[in-house]
Amino acid sequence: MLTPKDKTNILPTTPGIYQFYDRTGKILYIGKAKNLRSRVKSYFLRAEELTESRSTAIYQMVQKIKRIKTTSTDSELEAVLLEAELIKKVQPKYNIRQKDDKSFSVIEISRDEIPRLEIKRARNVDKSAEFAGQARTGAEYFGPYPSAEILK
């Protein structure tokens, strides 16, 4: 039977997202990649290299991986957006940075004759409540996204 490490050789080389699952089927981590095969393979370095070059938490996560699922996307941007959406929805244990609920980014597109695109920050995941005053102007909102950096 092939191990998750063995299966990395047959992963696509396209952009996309990857999900690591434990033995119970729970998602441990969701990530994005320019090249799925290269990125996922990088987690399966020899154990001594992994502990030297990566945190203990990642080393422990890799030991728990029993299944890998990948989803190819047409672009890196699509992978970034899909990753952000899934992390917000699933809240995997090892996606620490992306789970920060202090605030998030949304894209606002105005209804002006020449629409303006702006990145806004919010604390309330319910965009309709947070932006109710602005929504009266007819602006549309997309998101939430974990970081304004990925939108720039």
Provide the whole-model pTM.
0.65
Mean of pLDDT values over 38-54: 73
User: What is the per-residue DSSP string for 20-58?
Assistant: EE-TTS-EEEEEEESSHHHHHHHTTS-HHHHHHHS-HHH
Identify the residue whose tokens are 């309330």. Answer: 124
- The pLDDT value recorded for residue 53 is 57
- The pLDDT value recorded for residue 142 is 76
**47 is written with which tokens?**
């154990």
Residue with more model confidence, 101 or 30? 30
pLDDT grade for 125, boundaries at 50, 70 and 90? very low
Mean of pLDDT values over 61-73: 94
> What DSSP element (H or E) covers 11?
none
Please say if the pLDDT value at position 145 is more than 50.
yes
**92 is written with which tokens?**
């995997």
CATH of domain 4-98: 3.40.1440.10
**121 is written with which tokens?**
């920050």
Closest CA to 43 of 23, 25, 57: 57
| Average predicted confidence (pLDDT) for the chain | 80
- The pLDDT value recorded for residue 126 is 47
Share above pLDDT 90 across residues of the chain, in percent, rounded to a whole number = 34
Whether 29 and 86 have beta carbons less than 8 Å apart is answered as no
Mean of pLDDT values over 130-141: 59
- The pLDDT value recorded for residue 128 is 45
Strand, coil or helix: 65: coil
22: phi then psi, degrees, rounded to nearest 5: -90, -175
**76 is written with which tokens?**
């890196």
Residue with more model confidence, 134 or 51? 51
The pLDDT tens digits for 84-96 are 889 989 999 998 7
